[in-house]
Amino acid sequence: MQKNTYPGKLIVFEGLDGSGQSTQAGLLRDFLVFKDYQVILTKEPTKDSEAGKKIREVLDKKKKVSPEELQKFFAEDRKEHLEKVIIPALKEGKIAISDRYFFSTFAFGTGSGLDLEWLIKLNDNFLLPDLAVILRVSPKVCIERIKARGSVRTLFEEEDRLARVWKVYEVLPDRFENVHIVDGERSVEDVHENIKALLQEKLEL
């Protein structure tokens, strides 16, 4: 992995589907904008790249590919995402907040039976985030949240699969710098306050 040497900061939100990472990413963006930082909020997989479109078809169960091929799509989409969106923002000194990043590949890919070391190598040339927040929410609670919002369940939104995925997320803080697990089962406001405190402690923002 490559350390971020650009003037901007890369912050990543991770977690199981239904953990609330999109909500917290949006709240942090609003908080930082209020503090007069220049911020972009982005998301993986992207919607615009050819790889991103293929990923969406697979996750929505409209197309079948091997787990290896799916993760290669994620890496291809991530490369374009970095080159076209994230790195240009970092060069301008902006804070880039990404809703999901390569930690999703490690967790969900390994949860699908792939080798973690192979997945890490697949993403070896990408930027390490300055801060990665993984929200800890049990698979059962995540499934309940997904059902409550009326969303169609995608490929990864099955409780036993989410349990396997979480086991991988748990070990990531020991493998990578700047990765922190936050209890995501509290109120949205409490989780947001925890993240703001982490941001101040680690990045002085």
CATH number at residue 101: 3.40.50.300
Domain that holds residue 79: 9-203
pTM of the full predicted structure? 0.93
Rounded to a whole number, what is the distance in angstroms from the first to the last CA of the chain?
Answer: 24
> pLDDT averaged over the chain?
94
In a domain, 2, yes or no: no
Token pair 């985030």: residue: 129
pLDDT digits (tens, 9 = 90+) for 85-100: 999 999 999 999 999 9
CA angle 106, 159, 60 (to 5 degrees): 70
In a domain, 1, yes or no: no
- The secondary structure element, H or E, covering residue 22 is helix 21-34
The total number of structural domains that make up the chain: 1
In a domain, 46, yes or no: yes
Beta strand 39-43 with 9-15 is unpaired
> Which tokens in the block code for residue 134?
């993984």
User: pLDDT 10s digit of each residue in the chain, 205 long?
Assistant: 899 999 999 999 999 989 999 999 999 999 999 999 999 999 999 998 999 999 999 988 889 999 999 999 999 999 999 999 999 999 999 999 999 999 999 999 999 899 999 999 999 999 999 999 999 999 989 888 888 887 666 656 678 888 999 999 999 999 999 999 999 999 999 999 999 999 999 998 8
On whether the CB atoms of residues 27 and 188 are closer than 8 A, the answer is yes
In a domain, 3, yes or no: no
